[in-house]
Amino acid sequence: MTLQELNHKIKKIDCGMLTTHTDKNEFNSRPMLTITDDENPYNLYFFCMKNSQKIVEIKSDNRVAISYQDKETGVNLHILGKATLIDQPKEMQKHWDKKLNVWWQKEENTDGICMIIVKIEKFRYWTIGDNGEVALNEE
C-alpha cells in the first residue's frame, strides 16, 4: 500500500481513534475526525480545543497512534507518528473541513481552537488478502 492509497482510504473512513500517552504511562484514545491533504500525504490533521486533555498529553509526549476500521471493505489501518500543535487561524483555514462546523460554527476563528498535525512515520494495514507495514522517509 502506498502513502497515497493510505490517505484515500482514510478519507473514506473519516474518523479514527487518536491515541496519546498519559503522564501515568497509560494510553488514552478518542475518536477524531481526520483531515487529509493530497499535497502533503505525510500529514494528518485534527482539530480540538487547546485546553483538552489530548493537548496536555501531546505536549508531554508527541508520539501518537491512530487506528481506522472500515467494516464495509475490511480495511484496518494503524498509523504511528509525531504530533505538533498549530493555533494560527490562517494555517488552520488551509485544512478546515465543513464537517467540523458541527462542533465549531466560527470555524478556525473559534476561541481556543487548535490544530494537531500528525506526521506519519509508519503505518500498518490489513485488507482482505493483503497486509503489511510501511516505514516512511519523506523524500
Rounded CA separation 82/95 (Å):
18
Domains, the chain, with CATH or none: 3-135 (2.30.110.10)
Q: Are the C-beta atoms of 121 and 81 separated by less than 8 Å? A: yes
* The pLDDT of residue 16: 97
pTM (2 d.p.): 0.92
**Span 16-22, average pLDDT:** 97
- Exposure of 121 by Cβ count < 10 A (0-12 exposed, 13-18 middle, 19+ buried)? middle
CB half-sphere exposure, 94, CA atoms < 13 A: 15
Q: What is the pLDDT of residues 54-95, one digit of tens each?
A: 999 999 999 999 999 999 989 999 999 999 999 998 999 999
